[in-house]
Amino acid sequence: MSLKEQIDSSRLPSHIAIIMDGNGRWAQEKGEDRLFGHLHGVESVRDVVEGAAELGIKNLTLYAFSTENWDRPEDEVSGLMELLIDTIKKEVPTLNKNNIKLHVIGAVDMLPSGALAELNEAMAQTASNTGLNLIMALSYSSRWEIINAVKQIAGDAKAGKIDPNTIDHQAFHSYLSTDRFPDPELMIRTSGEYRISNFLLYQLAYTELYFTSTLWPDFRKEDLYDAILDFQKRERRFGKTGEQLKK
């Protein structure tokens, strides 16, 4: 049986989030420039998005650029931005063909205006698709998101729109940029790093974490299937005992 056939389609994670890491090292191992790695990373994005859509995954978040990544060398940042605009432009027909709706989370006002315009255009062109939600985390950091939410809540409280005593998980969640989506059930990080790097800190509270040493440009559908199969073996307890879950 192929890996794909082993997946129980009735127990798919409703939301998969991926920290796509290792492009730079992949390129350096080959004696190439870091940008060469980012270029090949796009191939992995294509394959994994297609794989997720074929399986019927509803939500896929890809961490493509963090707030902290703005501090990388200027040529890497500008190269990445160019690649981003180019890829998004090129991929819109494929997204539409596969009924994929594009979303973006992050401090997008930090993006060059051309990139932002392309993004908005791509989101508008895929807005009526009803299949996979592809959520690109761009210029994203979780602390940025949480602080932003706190600012808005404080503003709304000051304006008398909300009563601070009524703020609960659901109310707080509604101020996050991921409000429209369920919290990730599976988080994958490639490249053998065991950290979260400012990604979805609040939303990952009960997410199953999967780490692989595969570098992002080598990651393909089959690796996604591996991660999902691993997820399906786990017992998610949410604070309860194993015995309680069997009842």
Catalytic residue positions?
21, 69
- Partner touching 64 among Mg ion, ligand IPE, none, CB below 5 to 8 Å by kind: ligand IPE
Residue written as tokens 């989370």? 105
- Partner touching 66 among ligand IPE, Mg ion, none, CB below 5 to 8 Å by kind: ligand IPE
Does position 63 interact with ligand IPE (CB under 6 A)? The reply is yes
Nearer to ligand IPE, 98 or 190 (CB): 190
Nearer to Mg ion, 21 or 223 (CB): 21
Query: How many Cβ atoms from other residues are within 10 Å of residue 160's Cβ?
Result: 7
Q: Which residue is nearest to ligand IPE (CB)?
A: 24
Where do contacts with Mg ion occur on this chain (CB under 5 A)?
A: 21
- Partner touching 197 among ligand IPE, Mg ion, none, CB below 5 to 8 Å by kind: ligand IPE
What is the distance between the alpha carbons of residues 182 and 180, in angstroms, rounded to a whole number? 7
Does position 218 interact with ligand IPE (CB under 6 A)? The reply is no
Name the residue among 67, 21, 66, 28 with its Cα closest to residue 44: 21
The helix or strand, by DSSP H or E, that contains position 175, with its residue range, turns out to be: none
Q: Smallest distance, Å, CB 83 to ligand IPE? A: 10
Does position 69 interact with ligand IPE (CB under 6 A)? The reply is yes
Cβ–Cβ < 8 Å for 24, 37:
yes
What is the distance between the alpha carbons of residues 84 and 246, in angstroms, rounded to a whole number? 46
Within 80-119, the residues that bind ligand IPE by CB under 6 A are 80
Name the residue among 64, 49, 58 with its Cα closest to residue 15: 58
Q: Smallest distance, Å, CB 87 to ligand IPE? A: 13
Cβ–Cβ < 8 Å for 205, 222:
no
What is the distance between the alpha carbons of residues 218 and 207, in angstroms, rounded to a whole number? 24
What is the distance between the alpha carbons of residues 203 and 205, in angstroms, rounded to a whole number? 6
Only one of the segments 14-22, 93-101, 120-128, 220-228 lies at the binding site for ligand IPE (rule: CB under 6 A); that segment is 14-22
What is the distance between the alpha carbons of residues 186 and 203, in angstroms, rounded to a whole number? 11
Only one of the segments 22-30, 46-54, 87-95, 201-209 lies at the binding site for ligand IPE (rule: CB under 6 A); that segment is 22-30
Does position 144 interact with ligand IPE (CB under 6 A)? The reply is no
Does position 197 interact with ligand IPE (CB under 6 A)? The reply is yes
Instruction: Say what the alpha-carbon torsion angle 232, 234, 238, 243 is, to the nearest 10 degrees.
Output: 110
Which residues form the interface with ligand IPE (CB under 6 A)? Answer: 19-25, 63-66, 69, 80, 191, 193, 195, 197, 216
